[in-house]
Structure 1
């Protein structure tokens, strides 16, 4: 068996997380009943009572991170790092699997289980700052990141061509991954993430918010962890803008996990649902029934919660913008670890 972990907090993430868990418990196959930790990684309004009741029904353990465990609460991706560290401490299985909240589970999840000769598994990320053999645009950035995190670019593995794209430097998507508890991964993940943020290092275009993904392959390399790449059917990314057209995501007909990002929002939702109906009609029908049932639930909230949440968003947004203006764009391979 394994232990699942995800994040939750009041608002949109709360609803996404609950939907993801419902899909896991309904369609997750042999692992659908696995232990599941939902971690609130930073300060904010309390969850809705209806969510806590649903957690009880779904056998979800709700955990609030300890004060001081999140040193960068202004960046929402830090919640993931806090949750990984929490799961490392609380799990009693060899394998622990992280799940983003914007995921639909459509089938069995046995591909997340690690064999005796594996310590980590995830799928590749091909969006920027991915680096390909024929395009070294991001090479200075990756050289800086590796130096900063105690490894070397020359030691980093390359991922073979997947038939759609050419060979690329190992860069894993952090939306779904498993790690071996006790391998040192969780501590290294938290440390590397904070180190990269403190350095204020960014890509030549100024992108820094992918830190939770960028640090994965350097720490795997430094720790000498044995890894396996997930395939598109094991983690199918159907992001907004990639629903239709020549670069559209592969068919969901055999996918066990669909990572939809903002494809369920306007103006992408209709096209995404059309694909879902055509490729996974049973799940599409279940999803429609789920949303219909939610409409009958009284989900009114106390106004002070909304005011508190909005104030936090404004304050954190200001911190984000200040950090963004202070980033150092990687050009020459130098790092700024201050």
Structure 2
């Protein structure tokens, strides 16, 4: 049967500092412009040790009925706490184990809802929804520089790379191996996807595999599609309107006013920080004037954490960077 709105729980990560600012705007945009999904349950998770959230953030969570979950230290291994992207599988599994809904929807904090994302309900024969926004991090096959990286990952997961289906990226229409953007996806809880996703991400990091092209930056993203394939999940590809990318580095080559006008969810990356803010606001003014009016009243994002928590965050960042450097030195670069 098709999932109802009440059968979906959204999950995101939140930590003191910049991510805190992004998460606040994401959940508020969902409540304002999410249409039939505006009232869906949302659980914001802090998966690792760090400074506390501000009182203002907790008040905003209360106002928008956002459940806040801090993982206990025994719920997450500290070994990969340096890896920001491991926050995702830990957060998803923690919510999966407590949610009652039929489906879980993951939301990156740098998403902006600008209209109702009407394609997020799972159909009766569907168990996984995701969008192949672009091919960055994917492989087009044997001659692709990332093919050896993908081949190594498939070996770790005991998958035959040649058995993977092919998909077309939304931006370039590039034919690539089974690969999806991990910023927005939905899965059916009964599939045990969350447990397998965390297990696979951990296995790959344990194997110390690093790409000569992109390092291990796309680990969680490559693993997303491979996990869905491994479990035999029935996929429906989400349209680009549900994960429409925009950012300063790609604006000159990717931006299309017509594409942004059709967007329901904008994956804005760095677009709401001061440097790119004027351009972003102008684009929204031409495509989603109501959203632009709301955002203009708020201004560009900033790290609003108190000084002592910013200082603590900076210290943790340095400690984690040293641990990451040690990990990187022990990697096999393929």
TM-score (norm 2): 0.91
SS where residue 84 of structure 1 aligns? helix
Matched, 1:68 2:74: yes
Q: What's the CA shift for 1:306?
A: 2.6
Take 2:229 and 2:283, find their aligned partners in 1: how far apart are those partners?
38
Inter-partner Cα distance in structure 2 for 1:125 and 1:66: 34
Instruction: Pick the aligned partner of 1:17 from 12, 17, 23.
Output: 23
> Map of 1:206-217 to 2, 5 A cutoff?
207-217=215-225
Asked if the contact 1:133/1:166 (under 8 Å) is kept, the reply is no
Q: Any unmatched runs of 5+ in structure 1?
A: 331-338
Q: How many residues align?
A: 324
Matched, 1:278 2:286: yes
Q: 1:82 Cα shift?
A: 1.0
Match of 2:246 in 1: 238
Question: Residue 144 in 1 paired to residue 152 in 2?
Answer: yes
Unaligned runs of 5+ in 2: none
Which residue of 44, 47, 70 maps to 2:53? Answer: 47
Structure with the bigger percentage of helix? 2
CA distance in 1 between partners of 2:141 and 2:328 (Å)? 29
Corresponding residue to 2:14 among 8, 11, 15: 8
Give the 3 Å change call, closer, same or farther, for CA 312–232 of structure 1 in structure 2: same
Match of 1:168 among 176, 189, 192: 176
Tell me whether 1:321 sits opposite 2:328 in the alignment.
no
* Cα distance, 1:280 vs structure 2: 1.4
CA offset at residue 67 of structure 1?
1.3
Alpha-carbon distance between aligned partners in 2 of 1:255 and 1:67, rounded to the nearest angstrom: 39
Shift of 1:144: 1.2
Q: How does 1:293-308 map to 2 (within 5 A)?
A: 301=306, 303-308=307-312
- Could you tell me how far 1:320 is from its partner in structure 2? 1.8
Pairwise CA distance, 1:322: 2.0
Counterpart of 2:201? 193
Structure 1 residues 206 and 233: alpha-carbon distance in aligned structure 2, compared to 1, 3 A threshold: closer
Distance 1:58 1:150, change over 3 A: same
Secondary structure, counterpart of 2:313 in structure 1: helix
Q: Mean Cα displacement is larger for which, 262-271 or 307-316?
A: 262-271
- Structure 1 stretches (4+) deviating beyond 4 angstroms? none
RMSD value, Cα: 2.0
Q: Which moved more, 1:110-119 or 1:182-191?
A: 110-119
**2:124 equivalent to 1:120:** no
Q: Is the CA contact (8 Å cut-off) linking 2:125 and 2:234 kept in structure 1? A: yes
State the shift of 1:125 in Å. Answer: 4.5
**Counterpart for residue 58 of structure 1:** 64
User: Which residue of the partner structure matches residue 36 of structure 1?
Assistant: 42
Contact 2:17 2:305 in 1 (8 A): no
| Pair 1:224-2:232 in alignment | yes
Partner of 1:263: 271
Report whether the alignment pairs 1:290 with 2:298: yes
- For residues 23 and 135 of structure 1, the distance between their equivalents in structure 2, rounded to whole angstroms, comes to 42
TM-score (norm 1): 0.90
Distance of aligned partners of 1:134 and 1:238 in 2 relative to their CA distance in 1, 3 Å threshold: farther
